[in-house]
Structure 1
């Protein structure tokens, strides 16, 4: 994402309460980080997701996406697999924070039932909007300016590095 706050991609629809065991099953926790992408959503209703996802694709979900354990590897696996953004009615608090920290764009919006698998949508994080295939615009919860800055930097660590570099130059 580095620098982009707009994501255009193909939709993958999931339901409510998609937990971290569905996002990245426990057995995958023993694998090296570079292999996590091959197991993204392996415990979900789309177990072959990792072999079908295209870079920039967007996950659409219902309530409480990312519930369960606090494993940071769950959003890492999704991002490494190529997920460009996640739009859900709501997120588990720790999953939300872990996603932001690694630079994985997320936004709360209710578009369940308004799109189907394979539809292409546009997510404008800065505006807090999702543009559906029929050009209808759905307002979501715009991330705060600090979150947008972290996402734009590519994650929390790159954002801190930017700040430190700016301080050195002043």
Structure 2
């Protein structure tokens, strides 16, 4: 996994729940490629088709609250979101995201100092830069970093067991 990267911001607010991230009515579709097209549909119907690989979501507090729906972080991974930077994450979403290989970064201040379309620069375990300002970020524990780098929990276990 890259430890230094940039991406364009898609900005969301507080309390973005899993029903907004991945609405229930689309979960029975045949593939994740079909499902991911409906991400964020209740809030911003155009967003899933506008997101480009490597883009970054910046949000407020409690991102991923609601149900323990695993398809929410799975759809974001399928959209090739580089990472999500939020003030805080719901605990179950946080773990489901890591299990799906999705990088999450907590920053209490970035969302208050950026706009949608801004470019953010991330140096993992160090800081985020945006609009000439620098925002410190916490270090990712080695075991969590390894899971994300391997592409999630299942792929990491397959790698450890010589299956991949």
Give the equivalent residue in structure 2 for 1:35: 34
- The answer to whether the 8 A contact 1:36-1:80 is kept is no
Question: Is the CA contact 1:5–1:148 (under 8 Å) kept in the aligned structure 2?
Answer: no
1:139 corresponds in structure 2 to 136
CA deviation vs aligned residue, 1:39-69 (integer Å, no higher than 9, x gap): 111122x221011111111000111000001
What per-residue deviation string (whole Å, max 9, x for no partner) do you get for residues 61-116 of structure 1? 11100000101000111111221100001101111001101101111112112110
1:150 to 144, 147, 152: 147
Aligned pairs for 1:22-61 (under 5 A) are: 22-32=20-30, 33-44=32-43, 46-61=44-59
Q: Which residue of 1 aligns with 2:75?
A: 77
Matching residue of 2:156: 159
C-alpha displacement at 1:141, in angstroms? Answer: 2.4
CA distance in structure 1 between the aligned counterparts of 2:131 and 2:67, rounded to whole angstroms = 34
Question: Aligned equivalents of 2:51 and 2:61: distance in 1?
Answer: 22
Counterpart CA distance in 1 for 2:128 and 2:48 is 24
After TM superposition, give the deviation of residue 128 of structure 1 in Å.
4.3
Gaps of 5+ in 1: none
Deviation at 1:17, TM superposition (A): 0.4
In structure 1, the residue matched to 2:65 is 67
Equivalent pairs counted in the alignment come to 161
Deviation at 1:130, TM superposition (A): 1.2
4+ aligned runs moved over 3 Å, structure 1 = none
Q: Distance in 2 between matches of 1:101 and 1:56?
A: 19
Query: Please, which of 127, 130, 146 is the counterpart of residue 128 of structure 2?
Result: 130
Instruction: Please name the residue that 2:116 is paired with.
Output: 117
Unaligned 5+ residue runs, structure 2? none
